[in-house]
Amino acid sequence: MTEKPETGALIAVLTRAKHVAVSTGAGISAESGIPTFRGKEGLWKKYRAEELATPTAFTQNPELVWEFYEWRRGIIAEKVPNPGHKVLARWENVFPVFSLITQNIDGLHQKAGSTDMLELHGNIWKLRCTEEGTVSENHQTPLEEVPPLCPDCGALLRPHVVWFGESLSPTVLHKAFQLSSECDVMFVIGTSALVQPAASLPLSAAEAGAKIVEINPDPTPLTPYADFSFRGKAGEILPLIDEELKKELQSKKG
């Protein structure tokens, strides 16, 4: 169990904040049992990303790529949000403006009750037609056919995720940088802060004057820019912060 961290100064900042933004990575879903990418049990240690999560791999062997995503969808389908996801869902209704930006494709923020977020790297529960570009939601595991085909035109469907060597949606990215530059506080939770452009969002927030709060058991390249660093698990630290925040807001009301 994480030692109870000192939260007083952060709570003072949060109670004054008009816009709180949160940027999450694989670490927030670690306590739900979804492997992170770069840890000891990191996904890419067992499976070579360059063989599976690239447009070239999909062109060469769509069955293999889909088998990999079927495996991941199967794992993720059984997982449930942890207390960290739940606090973030609650925070939608706590701050005057709240923005959630995630690199995760697992859909656990939605499962926890978050209704509005930017998914920088797409969503594993969405499929995209390789011909028409249409996106549909599909939660079936396993899928009826692998690789799945577009019901409208018969072309291959692909996972609606960003692969290595692909660009992020310019619209989503533009919005993410806009929110980062507008917020008063940005939480950076469970990301190794190694993958661009996501890793630059907190830097642009800091440049615009936002306070940066990092929650991660390990230091990252972002740590030197953080005003508050919590060394621990998101599923433990976030509920502790939330508890103190609730107390403070209640004492202000009363």
Residues labelled as active-site residues: 121
Q: Does residue 226 touch ligand OAD according to CB under 6 A? A: no
Shortest gap between Cβ of 107 and ligand OAD (angstroms)?
Answer: 13
Nearer to ligand OAD, 54 or 150 (CB): 54
Both tokens assigned to 128: 């995209």
d(CA 6, CA 55): 46
* Out of 117, 215, 241, 245, the residue judged to bind ligand OAD by CB under 6 A: 215
Q: Does residue 201 touch ligand OAD according to CB under 6 A? A: no
Question: Contact at 8 Å (CB) between 15 and 249?
Answer: yes
Subset of residues 6 to 25 that bind ligand OAD, contact rule: CB under 6 A: 25
d(CA 247, CA 233): 22
Q: Which stretch binds ligand OAD (CB under 6 A): 7-15, 26-34, 136-144, 149-157?
A: 26-34
* Out of 32, 123, 180, 192, the residue judged to bind ligand OAD by CB under 6 A: 192
Q: Which stretch binds ligand OAD (CB under 6 A): 37-45, 123-131, 179-187, 239-247?
A: 37-45
Strand partners for 118: 101
Q: What is the DSSP string of 24-84?
A: E-GGGGGGGT---SSSTT-HHHHS-HHHHSSHHHHHH-HHHHHHHHHHHHHHHHT----HH
Which of the 8 DSSP states describes residue 19? E
- Write the Ramachandran bin of 240: left for phi over 0, alpha for psi from -120 to 50, otherwise beta: alpha
x-or-dash pattern for ligand OAD, window 151-190, by CB under 6 A? Answer: -----------x--------------------------xx
Question: Contact at 8 Å (CB) between 204 and 177?
Answer: yes
* Out of 85, 121, 160, 211, the residue judged to bind ligand OAD by CB under 6 A: 121
* Out of 22, 52, 234, 240, the residue judged to bind ligand OAD by CB under 6 A: 234
Subset of residues 123 to 142 that bind ligand OAD, contact rule: CB under 6 A: none
How would you write 103-148 as a 3-class SS string?
A: CCCCCHHHHHCCCCCEECCEEEEEEEECCCCCEEECCCCCCCCCCC
Subset of residues 81 to 120 that bind ligand OAD, contact rule: CB under 6 A: 103
**Consecutive H or E run containing 238:** helix 234-253
Q: Does residue 79 touch ligand OAD according to CB under 6 A? A: no
Shortest gap between Cβ of 49 and ligand OAD (angstroms)?
Answer: 6
Nearer to ligand OAD, 14 or 53 (CB): 53
Interface with ligand OAD (CB under 6 A)? 25-27, 30-31, 36-39, 42, 53, 103, 121, 162, 189-192, 194-195, 215-218, 220, 233-235
